[in-house]
C-alpha cells in the first residue's frame, strides 16, 4: 500500500481503466439531509489530487442543498468486475469559481446548455418540458457563441479524512485497508471483513 490514500487510489484507478472497467471514474456520492436522511447518487469524478476528489453539479440540486446544509460526503467507487471498491469519507468545500469555469469551458456544448436547461431535482411535467428548455437555451446561445457558466453550477471538493480500500478474497475473507488521517500524515489499519 502507498503511504497515502490518494497515491493508492491513483494506482487502483489506473488498474480499473487498464482492466476495461466501464466508467472507472463513476462514483456514488452519499450525502445526508438536514434531518439526517441519507441519499446517494452516481456522478463522475472530474479530478483528484492530494487535496481531495472533485465533482461538478447544479448547486441547487438536492445534493447541492444537502452539501450546503451538511458539508460532508462519502464517495464509493464500485469496481465490481475487479472485486475492488474504494470508499472515501470527509468534509466538503466548494471549488473556486475560476476552477469551475475552467471545467465548464471543457464540457461539450450540449452539456453546457443542459446545465442551464435542467433545474436538477425539480419535478417536470413531461420530457417535452425539459426538451423545450434545452431548445430555448440553444436559441439563446446559438452555435458560435459562448455559453456562460450558470451561477447555480459548480464543483465540490471532498477532502478525505479516511479512505478504505476493499479487495475481494476467497471465502469472504476480504482485505479491508483503511487510511485514517493522523495529524499531517496517515495511519493504515487493517479491518476485519
> Which sequence positions are flagged as catalytic?
172
Paired residues of 98 in beta bridges: none
Q: What is the DSSP string of 146-182?
A: PPPPPTTEEEEEEEEEEEEEEE--GGG--EEEEEEEE
Collapsing DSSP states into helix, strand and coil, what is residue 112?
A: helix
- String of b and e for 50-67 (b: at least 16 CB within 10 Å)? eebbbbbbbbbbbbbbbb
Q: To which H or E segment does residue 99 belong? A: helix 97-106
What is the rounded CA–CA span in Å between residue 55 and residue 104?
12
Provide long-range contacts, Cβ within 8 A and 24+ apart, for 8-11: 8/163, 8/165, 8/179, 9/48, 9/77, 9/86, 9/88, 9/163, 9/165, 10/48
Amino acid at each position: 500500500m502507498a503511504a497515502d490514500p490518494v497515491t493508492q487510489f491513483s494506482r487502483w484507478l489506473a488498474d480499473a481503466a487498464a482492466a476495461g472497467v466501464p466508467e472507472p471514474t463513476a462514483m456514488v456520492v452519499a450525502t445526508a439531509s438536514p434531518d439526517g436522511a441519507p441519499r446517494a447518487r452516481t456522478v463522475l469524478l472530474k479530478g483528484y489530487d492530494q487535496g481531495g476528489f472533485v465533482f461538478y453539479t447544479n448547486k441547487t440540486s438536492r445534493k447541492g442543498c444537502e452539501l450546503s446544509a451538511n458539508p460532508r460526503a462519502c464517495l464509493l467507487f464500485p469496481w465490481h468486475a475487479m472485486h475492488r471498491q474504494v470508499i472515501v469519507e470527509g468534509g466538503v468545500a466548494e471549488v473556486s469559481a475560476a476552477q469551475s469555469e475552467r471545467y465548464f469551458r471543457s464540457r461539450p456544448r450540449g452539456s453546457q446548455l443542459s446545465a442551464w436547461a435542467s433545474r436538477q431535482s425539480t419535478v417536470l411535467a413531461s420530457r417535452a418540458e425539459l426538451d423545450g428548455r434545452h431548445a430555448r437555451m440553444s436559441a439563446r446561445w446559438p452555435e458560435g457563441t459562448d455559453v456562460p457558466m450558470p451561477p447555480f453550477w459548480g464543483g465540490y471538493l471532498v477532502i478525505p479524512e479516511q479512505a478504505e480500500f476493499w479487495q475481494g478474497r476467497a471465502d469472504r475473507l476480504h482485505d479491508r485497508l483503511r487510511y485514517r488521517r493522523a495529524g499531517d500524515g496517515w495511519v493504515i489499519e487493517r479491518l476485519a471483513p
